[in-house]
Amino acid sequence: MKIVIAPQGFKAGISGMDAARAIARGVAAAVPDAETVLAPVADGGDGTMNALVDGTGGEVFTSTVTGPLGQPIDAQWGVMGDGRTAVIEMALASGLALVPQRRRNPRVTTTAGTGEILREALDRGYTRIIVGLGGSATNDGGAGMATALGARFLDAAGNPLASGGSALARLARIEVNGLHPRLSEATVIAATDVTNPLCGPDGASAVFGPQKGANPDMVQELDAALANYARVVSRDLGRAVAEQPGAGAAGGLGAGLMAFTGATLQSGIDMVCEVIDFDSLLDGADLVITGEGRADHSTIFNKAPVGVARHARAHDVPTVLLAGGLGAGYEELYDHGLAAVVSIADRPDDLRRFPVPDRRTAGGGRRAHPPAHTDRKTDALNPAHCWTCRPLSTVQPEL
């Protein structure tokens, strides 16, 4: 039996590779004769840089840039094995994980750090740049990114705007004569897992704003600000991006990349699958196991598990999704190629409550298991408490 293990990272948990290794150990315990192939994936969000760079034998760099709250942070980015393609994961420079829960405020968070890495990649002469969109803390339409590349955002009095999404309500003029000169020579590709427009009920503010700290009043304020931003972009740059699929990705960074860098948007999961030659790994496979932190209605929008299942279905290989938790609408995934959707928790809970493994124990020690998976008296692993820890024969899956 050949089993391809292709999870993405679990937010507030472990990386895609650590998840793949942990699943492989479970498979080895349950089906010792099985051949396992580890192929961690990503969909433009968390883990995209590692999937593309590690998958091609590339190199990872660290740069000090402006974080989402304006503070200096160290952010990683990479270059693929071809030596000419830079990969930037916006979540590593402008991501939600970089902002403490109590300080999340999309009115003020900025994509400046993402733009600073993009500027560094251009300075180093990279002519193909992939920007992974997802996991953002921002709602500034990519204005911070564009400012780092030399654009100027001015109010009616000609003063530069402050950073953040709410300031865009006062935007009156955009000047682009100072944009980085090498942008005209570069091909920028935005990898994204969503197709949302910039504004409206399905836009960046309404759909993703609440998870970044926006209350209902803030959502309306931010949506109106992005609508004004889109009008000025259309007038001053001649680019109507508001209704483009994916414009609302990463708090509107999709729109900003299209407007200021001429970026094209591509499916993140399809890009990763192409780079790691995922289809070839499916030859002779009997089962695919994928995974993510939470499976719900939003997962159907071309996120990694559905993308993996789509590729597997083309080879007549069933796909099982292991999720950190199940949310509203997860049943819809059965209509999108998943043969089974299972929570790895032994009871409904928030994945963030579970201990996060460190490098010494990631996926391999006690700390990688939820508390209820252990004997409370001895703190030893108790497989009887958790189907993921038991042999597959006791759960009777159809393999």
Q: What pLDDT score does 134 carry?
A: 87
SS (H, E, C) 210-250: HHHCCCHHHHHHHHHHHHHHHHHHHHHHCCCCCCCCCCCHH
Q: What pLDDT score does 349 carry?
A: 57
CA 5 to each of CA 16, 22, 300: distance values in angstroms, whole numbers, following the listed order:
10, 10, 20
Q: What is the mean pLDDT of residues 46-66?
A: 93
Q: What pLDDT score does 12 carry?
A: 60
pTM: 0.81
Q: What is the mean pLDDT of residues 223-252?
A: 97
Q: What pLDDT score does 354 carry?
A: 55
Q: What pLDDT score does 205 carry?
A: 97
Domains and CATH numbers, the chain: 2-41+282-365 (3.40.50.10350), 48-269 (3.90.1510.10)
Distance separating alpha carbons of residues 283 and 4, to the nearest angstrom: 10
Higher pLDDT, 288 or 381: 288
Q: How confident is the model at residue 238 (pLDDT cuts 50, 70, 90)?
A: very high
Minimum mean pLDDT among 60-69, 84-93, 187-196, 365-374: which range? Answer: 365-374
Q: How confident is the model at residue 193 (pLDDT cuts 50, 70, 90)?
A: confident
Helix (H) or strand (E) holding 394: helix 392-395
pLDDT over threshold 50, residue 118? yes
φ, ψ for residue 271, nearest 5 deg: -65, -45
Distance separating alpha carbons of residues 375 and 380, to the nearest angstrom: 5
Distance separating alpha carbons of residues 150 and 167, to the nearest angstrom: 18
Distance separating alpha carbons of residues 226 and 200, to the nearest angstrom: 10
pLDDT over threshold 90, residue 218? yes
Largest CA distance in the chain: 72
Q: Is residue 5 classed as helix, strand or coil in its secondary structure?
A: strand
Higher pLDDT, 385 or 268: 268
Q: How confident is the model at residue 350 (pLDDT cuts 50, 70, 90)?
A: low
Q: Is residue 392 classed as helix, strand or coil in its secondary structure?
A: helix
pLDDT over threshold 80, residue 215? yes
Amino acid at position 224, single letter: A
Q: How confident is the model at residue 298 (pLDDT cuts 50, 70, 90)?
A: confident
Q: What pLDDT score does 294 carry?
A: 86
φ, ψ for residue 177, nearest 5 deg: -70, -15
Q: What is the mean pLDDT of residues 237-242?
A: 96
Distance separating alpha carbons of residues 25 and 22, to the nearest angstrom: 5
Q: How confident is the model at residue 346 (pLDDT cuts 50, 70, 90)?
A: low
Four-point Cα dihedral 268, 272, 273, 275, nearest 10: 140
Burial-class residue 38 by CB neighbours within 10 Å (0-12, 13-18, 19+): middle
Minimum mean pLDDT among 73-77, 183-187, 350-354, 384-388: which range? Answer: 384-388
pLDDT over threshold 50, residue 385? no
pLDDT over threshold 90, residue 297? no
Q: What's the mean per-residue pLDDT of the chain?
A: 88
Q: What is the mean pLDDT of residues 35-55?
A: 91
pLDDT over threshold 50, residue 88? yes
Percent of the chain with pLDDT over 70: 85
Q: What pLDDT score does 28 carry?
A: 97
Residue 321: beta bridge partners? 290, 341
pLDDT over threshold 60, residue 399? no
Distance separating alpha carbons of residues 223 and 198, to the nearest angstrom: 8
pLDDT over threshold 90, residue 397? no
Minimum mean pLDDT among 7-21, 270-284, 320-334: which range? Answer: 7-21
Distance separating alpha carbons of residues 304 and 7, to the nearest angstrom: 8
Residue 49 tokens, joined: 């840089």
Q: Is residue 156 classed as helix, strand or coil in its secondary structure?
A: coil
Distance separating alpha carbons of residues 304 and 286, to the nearest angstrom: 19
Q: What pLDDT score does 30 carry?
A: 95
